[in-house]
Structure 1
Amino acid sequence: MTVVSSGKPDKVLPAFKTFTWNEDYNRVLSAVNQQSKIEVKEHIRAEIIRYLKTKGYVYQPDPIQADVVIGFLFALEDDLADQQIQDRFGLLPGINNSDITGKRYEKGTFLVAVLDNRAEFIYWRSAMQGFVDFENDRRDESTEHMQAVLDMMMGGFPQAGQ
């Protein structure tokens, strides 16, 4: 896995305590059907809530009352090319999959961003690329892997309100 971020979160993020979602900034581009897209999106949201709770942040379902919007994008290579991700988000780790020949692995991209509460300005963003092992990942029902990924990306977040 490779991670790249637009800056150190503790240097670029405003002090905030609450966050919400915005449908335009919560995207899953790698799912078999609409139902699986919904399930993947809900899983990612639940894991982000769980992770940020460890730092004292609180999910606020009412966007008007939230301090910031957390955005994310999850895509597999076939669904969105690297250049499109780079053009749209200006950030890409650029992991190379030319040596991976097995169908068991697919390159995945996960982006996380923190925006102002009107979703007009991006304070911070981070992108991770790695290889997804479909056989093992489908059997793994634990959430520890996702928490480790979020820690790599969001570990520099200060405690809520700082």
Structure 2
Amino acid sequence: MKNILIVAALTLLTACTQTPDWDYDKSANFSNFKTFAWVENASLTKDTTNYQINGLMEKRVRTAVNKELSQTLGMSLVDPAQADVLVNYHASVDKELEVDSFNVGYGARWGYWGTGFQRDISAREYEVGTLVIDIIDRESNQLVWRGAKEGRLKKKQSPEQREASIKETVANILSNFPPQKQL
């Protein structure tokens, strides 16, 4: 019984984990990309009014991407005119509705015709955030790699929790940059 509960818990945990999504140009030579810069007008806040996408979040995303590309991948942040690739990013927040219903009882009345089910329905609205990171070949000005991750947004987080969440999200997105060769 204990093993069944452990397997069920692991299955539930795995089902709740959002994995990043990637796409890339198979003809791009990623081994040539050693330096990066930000697209000049890259901004999370330009197309949204959601309170969770703001200047603080933008700073956290840029810091996390810079760290991941520099420290983990060994790339150098340079002036855009000298960069091999340009980095751009987008974020969005959408509202989702989660509805649960379950039967809580069955009843029958004998004096009058009828039977019935009692059903409990609950609905909750929540926000799903999506972060997209684009890698653009500066020479050709073509998108060569895109990574994205979406997940349920948590509210009432401290600045430290928000920073840790962004670091983890960016690391997950960039975990397949440069793309690994498929066997």
Where on the TM-score scale, by shorter chain, does this alignment land: which range? 0.5 to 0.7
| 2:75 alignment partner AA | Y
The residue correspondences of 1:38-117 to structure 2 (distance < 5 A) are 38-53=55-70, 54-60=72-78, 62-77=79-94, 97-99=96-98, 101-102=123-124, 105-117=126-138
Q: Of 139, 147, 150, which aligns to 2:167?
A: 147
CA 1:56–1:141 in 2, change beyond 3 Å: closer, same or farther?
Answer: same
Q: CA deviation at 1:25?
A: 3.8
Larger Rg over CA atoms: 2
Per the alignment, residue 82 of structure 1 pairs with none
Q: Is the 8 A contact 2:22 2:176 kept in 1?
A: no
CA 1:25–1:122 in 2, change beyond 3 Å: closer, same or farther?
Answer: farther
1:45 and 1:129 mapped to 2: Cα distance? 18
Q: What SS class does the counterpart of residue 97 from structure 2 fall into?
A: coil
1:70 and 1:42 mapped to 2: Cα distance? 14
More strand per residue: 2
Q: What SS class does the counterpart of residue 56 from structure 2 fall into?
A: helix
Higher relative CO (Cα under 8 Å, sequence separation at least 6) belongs to 1
| 1:109 alignment partner AA | T
CA 1:30–1:107 in 2, change beyond 3 Å: closer, same or farther?
Answer: farther
**Which TM-score applies when normalising by structure 1?**
0.68
Q: Is the 8 A contact 1:20 1:63 kept in 2?
A: yes
CA 1:148–1:119 in 2, change beyond 3 Å: closer, same or farther?
Answer: farther
Per the alignment, residue 127 of structure 1 pairs with 148
Q: What SS class does the counterpart of residue 54 from structure 2 fall into?
A: helix
Gaps (5+ residues) in structure 2? 1-17, 100-122, 179-183
Q: CA deviation at 1:31?
A: 4.2
Percent identical pairs in the alignment equals 22
| 2:98 alignment partner AA | D
1:118 and 1:41 mapped to 2: Cα distance? 26
Count of aligned pairs between the two proteins: 134
Deviations 1:37-56 (A, max 9, x none): 33222221111011112211
1:71 and 1:119 mapped to 2: Cα distance? 15
CA 1:119–1:25 in 2, change beyond 3 Å: closer, same or farther?
Answer: farther
**Which TM-score applies when normalising by structure 2?**
0.61
Per the alignment, residue 177 of structure 2 pairs with 157
The residue correspondences of 1:13-24 to structure 2 (distance < 5 A) are 14=30, 15-24=32-41
